[in-house]
Structure formats: structure tokens, C-alpha cells
Amino acid sequence: MNKFQLICSLLFCQFLLAQNDTTLVSKPKIGVISVDKLNVVYRGIQNPISIAVPNAKSFKASGLGLTYNNGHYSISPGQGNEVVVKLEIILEDDSKIIEEHLLRILNFPPVLGRINNRNCIDCIVLMKLSELENAEITVYFENLLTGLKFNVSSFSIEFSDNKNIDVNGNRIDENTFNQLKRLKKNSELKINNINYTKGLGGYFKKAGVINVRISD
């Protein structure tokens, strides 16, 4: 090797050593982002997500709508069909890698109110008067792909004469049931104003009304 080739080789080695050790990962990812098994988040609400990178010294997560509070991540996506969460990971050997995780964005589905797990769209639930005692009010989402928990915290009962009873909790309590005892066969009532989003951030659709008719 002549002197010129030797000098070029040394300069090339120094150039390699001076390069940034950040690598955009194309091999299998080591970071784990857990929303659900289908990696789906919903538009307009705060979707809780878990992010972990095993055997890493540290990592930083970023993405449109991603926030971190009190040790927990959540993401509120905007427009589009997908959102990317980027992880900048520092490994134990101080090398740095970057990963991009893709999440699908869906619109929040319609919300159906239920009484004792019964209801349907544009119909009337037939119930015996005795079935209203301690009856449970819940909400149901068709094809909902999220681990969010929804608990009814209050609701209203509207009678045919437009009188209303406001109820706290998710069940028809004893005092409320005592007022319902006056209902006759074929009397109808509506259960509405179902609040199921207490403590959850974002915009949720209003729960559908439950129409009930007393069968006997």
C-alpha cells in the first residue's frame, strides 16, 4: 500500500468513528406500545397506552397528541387514519436507536344504554315492574376495541307526564323504586342522561335512551 492509500484509509476510519451512533431501526423492534391487540386508538378521546422498552437505559416517546402525566401515557389523535409514536431509545452500551410504531385511528362508535343488559335500537324493552328493583344501567359499544372502562355514574328517569327523577350511581335504588311502584301495566318510561364518562378526558357520544314499558 503506498503512502497516499494509507492516508486515505486512516481518514476514512476517522470519519467512521466520528459518525453519530443513532440508528433508524429496520430490524425487529424492541419497544412495546400496548393499546390493545389491534393497535387501535379512538379520535377525540384520551386513549391510555402503555410504553415499555426492555433492557434499555432510557427512552423518550413522542407523537401527535401523545401526553405523559403522573407516570402514564395517553394519546388523543386528530385527523387521518393513522398516528405514529416515535421512540428514541438509549441502550445499555449508550448507542441510540429510533423506532416508529403505527397506530390505527377509528371514530368512536355509537353508545347504547342498557338496563339489566337489555336494550335495542329504536325499540321498547318490556319489563315486569319487579324487574326494575335494583336494575342496573350500563352502556354498550358495538365493535369497541379498547381497554377503557366505562361505569355509569348517574342517569335520569322520565315518565310520560314529563316528570323526571335524577339517580346517582348505576342502579335503581330503593327510594327510586318506591316512586316507580305506582306505574300500571303498559306504562312507559325513558331512561336518559346516562353519564358514563366521569374521570375520562375527551369528547364522548351521548348514550342512547332506554325505552321501557311495564308488561305487568
Query: pLDDT (tens digit, 9 = 90+) per residue, 65-120?
Result: 999 999 899 999 988 999 999 999 999 999 999 999 999 999 988 899 999 999 88
pLDDT given for residue 28 in this prediction: 65
Do residues 185 and 194 make contact, with C-beta atoms less than 8 angstroms apart?
Answer: no
Cell numbers 391510555: residue: 48
Higher pLDDT, 204 or 125: 125
pLDDT at residue 85, rounded to an integer: 95
- Cα–Cα nearest to 147, from 70, 41, 33: 41
Element spanning 156, H or E: strand 154-159
Measured in degrees and rounded to the nearest 5, phi and psi for residue 205 equal -70, 150
Question: Which neighbouring-strand residues pair with 89?
Answer: 59, 97
Higher-confidence residue: 168 or 31?
168
Averaged confidence pLDDT in the chain:
84
Q: Tell which CATH architecture fits domain 20-106.
A: Sandwich (2.60)
CATH of span 111-214? 2.60.40
Domain ranges of the chain: 20-106, 111-214
pTM of the entire predicted model:
0.71
Nearest 10 degrees: Cα torsion 22, 28, 34, 35: 100
Residue 22 pLDDT exceeds 60:
no
